[in-house]
Every structure is written in C-alpha cells, then in structure tokens.
C-alpha cells in the first residue's frame, strides 16, 4: 500500500439504511489511513468503498498488526505491507505479497 492507490474494502447494504464507520486500532504511529471513515448506505447508495493507505512500511509476520474495524458488525482486518512469512508446515510454503 505504500506509494500505491491503497487497498479497498467494499461495504454492501442489505435491508434498510445503515450508518457505518471504519476505525483504525493498534496503530501508535498513526501510519494507517481509511477514507472515508464513515457514511450511510441507502437504497440509492447501497455500496461504499473504503480505501486503506499507509504512510510507511508495516511488516507482515509479526505480532500486533494495525487493524481496521468496520461497524456495525465488528468485521476486523489486519494491515501489513510486506511479505507474509512462508507457511512452515509440510515444507510447501511460499511467501505471498500483500498489495
């Protein structure tokens, strides 16, 4: 995400009007950004796209990732910008890039 457009989280409405918010946690350096941070999903605007950006490298494979929580519902996403450590089981692991 550093120097790129950022990753996106898509929110979809079912039923009536839904007020939503996206909050960042475990980010003491304030390097993670979400835009927009809140909104309202309606019949005329049933989809929202939240863009996640970071101002610096956030290493993958460590404890304590920054998180993004979407409410209502409490869906939580971990944020990192590097390579995931290879899977150690059965010797078949490969690193995967996180865009």
Containing H/E element for 35? strand 32-35
Q: Which pLDDT belongs to residue 26?
A: 94
* Structural domain span for residue 12: 7-91
Does residue 30 lie in a domain region? yes
CATH number at residue 25: 2.60.40
Does residue 98 lie in a domain region? no
How many domains does the structure of the chain reveal?
1
Q: Which pLDDT belongs to residue 94?
A: 40
Does residue 39 lie in a domain region? yes
| Residue 76 to residue 82: CA distance in whole angstroms | 19
pLDDT tens digit at each of 99 positions of the chain: 444 567 899 999 988 899 999 999 999 989 999 999 999 999 999 999 999 999 888 888 777 889 999 999 999 998 888 655 554 444 443 433 333
Task: Provide the greatest CA pair distance for the chain.
Answer: 50
Does residue 61 lie in a domain region? yes
| Residue 89 to residue 15: CA distance in whole angstroms | 43
Show Cβ contacts of residue 93 under 8 Å, excluding neighbours closer than 6 positions: 86, 87
């Amino acid at each position: 995400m550093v120097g790129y457009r950022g990753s996106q989280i898509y929110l979809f409405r079912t039923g009536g009007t839904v007020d939503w918010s996206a909050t960042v946690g475990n980010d003491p350096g304030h390097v993670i950004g979400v835009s927009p941070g809140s909104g309202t999903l309606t019949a005329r605007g049933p989809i929202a796209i939240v863009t996640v950006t970071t101002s610096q490298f956030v290493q993958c494979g460590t404890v304590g990732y920054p998180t993004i929580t979407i409410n209502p519902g409490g869906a939580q996403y971990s944020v990192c910008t590097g390579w995931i450590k290879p899977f150690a089981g059965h010797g078949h692991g490969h690193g995967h890039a996180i865009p």
